Amino acid sequence: SAVAAIKAKGELVMLTNAAFPPFEYLGDDQQPAGVDIDVAQAIADELGVELKVVDMEFDGIVPALMAGKGDIGAAGMTVTEERLESVDFSTKYATSSQYMIVKKDSDIATKDDLKGKKIGVQQGTTGDIYATDEDGENGVEAEEVLRYSNAMGAAMALMSDKIDVVIVDELPAKSIVAENDSLKMIDEKLTTEQYAIAVKKDSDLTAEINKVLDKLIADGTIDELILKHTTE
């Protein structure tokens, strides 16, 4: 069993992309910190093992899990039908939406204005999927979707006018806007999403994770962690 193997090696390996505050970011000591790291630590504690955090590209997390290069993917990861074909998900522990970030003087005010625009996203995220709009159901019709390795990279491109808008999850969007005076968030939810921890399919680890998560959700710890890592 996966749980027995983790206990035997004495280590829970968490795959993440530490550029997604408050869920994961690099702290002052350049070590990954955030809600997901604290949750993974609680899971490791429950199993009686050490936590090892591996920082990687977001779109590499699911393939790496499938290849057995880690035990859990905890990265503000939205549960999607497509990902469910490759991995299992834990209990959902947070709700989010995609939002638009623009320069304060932008002519983009609603999602209808995305037509003909250059949209920046983080590669392989639900923001990427929304902007790319493969089946046309979002009516985006962008001129181009430019993919960056993290949302901050997309925001830098926005500040230097290489793109017109960034589409990214709510709390990272708030964090980016809070740190960059020339940017604002548009108050329109583009999607409704829920975050969960990804696990290799049919693993006995999922039930262990859910046991810990159910408690952290019920006693308000998740909400507290979001607040703590937002104000830090």
Where are any strands of DSSP class E within the chain? 11-16, 25-26, 32-33, 50-55, 72-73, 87-89, 94-96, 98-103, 118-122, 144-148, 165-169, 183-186, 193-195, 198-200
Least distance to ligand GLN, CB of residue 131, Å: 12
* 8 Å CB contact between 119 and 154: no
Residues 123, 54: Cα–Cα separation, whole Å: 18
- What are the C-alpha distances in Å from 26 to residues 97, 191, 204, 228? 23, 27, 30, 15
Query: Which CB atom, from 137 or from 181, has the smaller least distance to ligand GLN?
Result: 137
**Which residues in 23-42 contact ligand GLN (CB under 6 A)?**
none
Choose, by CB under 6 A, the member of 21, 34, 73, 76 that binds ligand GLN: 76
Least distance to ligand GLN, CB of residue 147, Å: 12
State the sign of the Cα–Cα–Cα–Cα dihedral 45, 194, 55, 227: negative
Show Cβ contacts of residue 12 under 8 Å, excluding neighbours closer than 6 positions.
Answer: 6, 40, 43, 44, 47, 49, 50, 51, 52, 71, 72
Q: Is 210 in the site for ligand GLN (CB under 6 A)?
A: no
Q: Is 77 in the site for ligand GLN (CB under 6 A)?
A: yes
Q: Is 126 in the site for ligand GLN (CB under 6 A)?
A: yes
Choose, by CB under 6 A, the member of 6, 12, 13, 17 that binds ligand GLN: 17
Choose, by CB under 6 A, the member of 20, 93, 99, 130 that binds ligand GLN: 20
**Which residues in 56-75 contact ligand GLN (CB under 6 A)?**
58, 75
Q: Which helix (H) or strand (E) holds 213?
A: helix 205-218
Stretch touching ligand GLN by CB under 6 A, among 4-12, 118-126, 135-143, 158-166: 118-126
Q: Is 90 in the site for ligand GLN (CB under 6 A)?
A: no
Q: Is 167 in the site for ligand GLN (CB under 6 A)?
A: no
Query: Which CB atom, from 137 or from 161, has the smaller least distance to ligand GLN?
Result: 137
Q: Which residues bind ligand GLN (CB under 6 A)?
A: 17, 20, 58, 75-78, 122, 125-126, 169
